[in-house]
Structure 1
Amino acid sequence: MQKTTLEQWRMFKAVVDAGGFNQASSRVHKSQSSIHNAVSNLEAALGVKLFEISGRKVMLTEAGNLMLRRGSYLLEEVSRIEVIAKSLGDGVESELRIAVDGAFPQGVVFQALEKVSAIYPQVNIDIIDTVLSGTNELIQEGLVDLGLSALSMDNSLNDEICLIEFVAVAHKGHPLHQLDHQLTYDDLKSHRQIIVRDSAIQTNRDSGWLGAEQRWKVGSLRASLDLIAQGLGFAWLPMPLVSELLNNGTLKLLPLIHGGTRSNSFYLNFKDQDKLGPAARTFMGELRLLTLNMDTADQYQG
């Protein structure tokens, strides 16, 4: 059974914040004697002295300083719990967890979430970066509320949200650009391919053409782009990610006869629509509006 009460901790912190018992009395609108009693009972329950008197000043003891740190954390947690409880009572979720595939334009996600935060400022946002089947694994395990993925989900809801173009690229000085003909997959086989590793643990998978004799796997599209920009390989990357480097000439499209470009559908996935709160529904609505006629090259933010 707990020996202390939240009210005792609140009165203790009020004395510290106000600088004395008399000042705390005015701040919390309680009598000085009731505050004294609360602090005395707290000291008795803890078995330590929290304050000492130095002249007219009330000073924290060494034990008091330690208890203040612990007590402040306790009161902050209680305050958070009360905010969450109010949100739940109002029907608004306390947190919105979203898994986002690295190939999806980040700027679109951020714009939609900014609208959500303006309407529901008390909702905490948790964005998790994923690759390939990583998004859907998190949804299946209940670790996120919804996700953006290039892969649909079986026995779940898949809302196709947009198409994103992937292009085969290499640095302008890469040997593949020195060949005096259009390229075939045979031309690619003897050169290093950069592949982004699936972030899923249980169902990781490879995607796209994997015919190169030498392959490097990395954990993110950004890492893949860095390697490509240094001339260390070739890859198929989303146009929104590479458009700036293509425009300034750092990268060039590989002149493949077939398969140099491909388009992937991206889905807004979730398991149970009835379990989605108002913040999640607002995000979904804003995302649909933003992706309706978006130019993904303009919307991408790294």
Structure 2
Amino acid sequence: MLKSTLEQWRMFKAVVDAGGFNQAAAVVHKSQSSVHHAVQKLEHAIGVELFENTGRKVQLSAQGELMYRRATFLLNEAQKLEAVATSLQAGTETLLRIAVDIIFPSDLLYNVLNKVSEEFPLLRIEIEETVLSGANSMLNSGNVDIAISPFTYPTGFSEDLCEIEFAAVAHPDHPLHALDRPLTLEDLKSHRQIVVRDSSAERKVDVGWLGADQRWTVSHIRTSVDIISQGLGFAWLPIAIIKKELEEGALLPLPLGNNGGLRKSLLYLSFEDGDGLGPAARSFIGELRYQTMNLPSAHGMLQPCGEPLC
């Protein structure tokens, strides 16, 4: 038989998170004496002192720090268990929330969403367009059910989804093209690079070559495309997104030698707990996996000076 209860562990965690018994009481909507009593009963039941006496300030003991980490895991698992039960009770979900990094091919995403909507006509779908660590940040905060991100999700499930190819590009009249020779990264340093800002509200990440002395940072890839289409800089952009501009000659790949003008980014499909996903979410994941299996390479679009870049 268990010596402690989930409610006692919840009170203990609340005291730690809030920074004291009075503060925790306000958070959990209980009296201070009730919270204090719950923690005292917990300590007596498990035979471990969770806090040290340091005047008025609440401070975890060494044993308490270990128990706090385990309690956090336990409470998170209990929440997931209830979420699974809710999903089973509700049957098909009515809302599916997805965070998608903006480098993911939009046409492919639309096709997947259309297939899911045909199967679940009453399903509402919310798409959050994110950059870099933004998708995982939203998944971690519980604001979405599924994330497509260039980073693995450390506390849940992640699998390789697809590779996205990037090219260093600029307007045909940009001074870098006027050099009329293979470029080096040193050549890029003296020219403006356009980069897209990480959409995460937490720790922000920079990805890609960032050696330019001057950078303009924008919030969306389309803004970057508009800027470099006017000859105001160069950028690393997903080839699938700038297909039209490449075909029309509005943008040209920079002739960096030895495929230096190409790089790849792996995208990951992530979610917290597969058991907590409903039928519509599972259908989305299945269709997404199927369609990304046949995602074509974009190398053929890169033909500066009449020759493929790679």
Q: Could you tell me the TM-score, scaled by structure 1's length?
A: 0.67
Partner of 1:37: none
Which residue of the partner structure matches residue 274 of structure 1?
A: 275
Unaligned segments of structure 2, at least 5 residues: 1-86, 299-310
CA distance in 2, matches of 1:284, 1:181: 45
Distance across 2 between alignment mates of 1:151 and 1:223: 23
> Structure 1 residue 225: deviation in Å?
0.7
Deviation, 1:90, is: 5.0
Q: Where do residues 223-262 of structure 1 align in structure 2 (5 Å cutoff)?
A: 223-258=223-258, 259-262=260-263
Classify the secondary structure of the residue corresponding to 1:240. Answer: coil
Structure 2 residue aligned with 1:43: none
User: Partner of 2:295 in structure 1?
Assistant: 294
- The answer (yes or no) to whether the contact 1:240–1:296 under 8 Å persists in 2 is no
What's the offset of the Cα at 1:296?
A: 6.4
Letter in 1 for 2:165: E
Aligned-pair identity in percent equals 51
| Matched letter for residue 93 of structure 2 | E
Change (3 A) 1:296 1:223: farther
Q: Deviations over 1:254-289 (max 9, x none)?
A: 011252101111111111111111000000001111
Q: Which residue of 2 aligns with 1:143?
A: 143
Displacement of 1:180 after TM fit?
A: 3.0
CA separation in 1, counterparts of 2:156 and 2:253?
Answer: 37
Does the C-alpha gap of structure 1 residues 164 and 256 become closer, same or farther in structure 2, counting only changes over 3 Å?
same
| Matched-pair contact (CA < 8 Å) for 1:165–1:238 | yes
Deviation at 1:149, TM superposition (A): 1.1
Between the aligned partners of 1:254 and 1:188, the Cα distance in structure 2 is 10
Matching residue of 1:201: 201
1:126 is displaced (CA, Å) by 0.2
Q: CA deviation at 1:198?
A: 0.3
Secondary structure at 1:152's aligned position in 2? coil
Deviates more, 1:265-274 or 1:277-286: 265-274
Give the corresponding residue for 2:152: 152
Query: Cα RMSD over matched residues?
Result: 1.7
- State the Cα deviation string for residues 78-106 of structure 1 (Å, max 9, x = none): xxxxxxxxx97551112000001110001
Cα distance between partner residues in 1 of 2:152 and 2:236:
20
Distance 1:241 1:154 in 2: 28
Query: Which deviations, in whole Å up to 9, do the C-alpha atoms of 1:171-209 show, x marking residues without a partner?
Result: 000000011321111111111000000000102111111
- 1:241 match: secondary structure: coil
Indicate the residue corresponding to 2:59 in structure 1: none
> Structure 2 length as normaliser, TM-score?
0.66
* 1:26-175 equivalent positions in 2, closer than 5 A: 89-175=89-175
Q: Which residue of 1 aligns with 2:305?
A: none
- Asked whether the 8 Å contact 1:88–1:94 carries over to 2, the reply is no
Unaligned residue ranges in structure 1 (runs of 5+): 1-86, 298-302
Q: What SS class does the counterpart of residue 262 from structure 1 fall into?
A: strand
Residue correspondences, number:
212
CA distance in 2, matches of 1:111, 1:180: 41
Q: Which residue is 1:47 aligned to?
A: none
d(CA) in 2 for partners of 1:213, 1:148 = 31
Q: Which residue of 2 aligns with 1:4?
A: none
Q: Please give the alpha-carbon distance, in whole angstroms, between the structure 1 residues aligned to 2:90 and 2:202.
A: 37
Deviation at 1:248, TM superposition (A): 1.5
Asked if the contact 1:97/1:146 (under 8 Å) is kept, the reply is yes
* Structure 2 Cα separation of the partners of residues 119 and 235 of structure 1: 39
Task: Supply the distance in 2 between the matched residues of 1:112 and 1:88 (Cα, whole angstroms).
Answer: 24
* 1:216-241 deviations in Å (ceiling 9; x for gaps): 00001111111111111001000101
Q: Find the counterpart in structure 1 of residue 264 from structure 2.
A: 263
3-state SS, counterpart of residue 98 of structure 2: strand
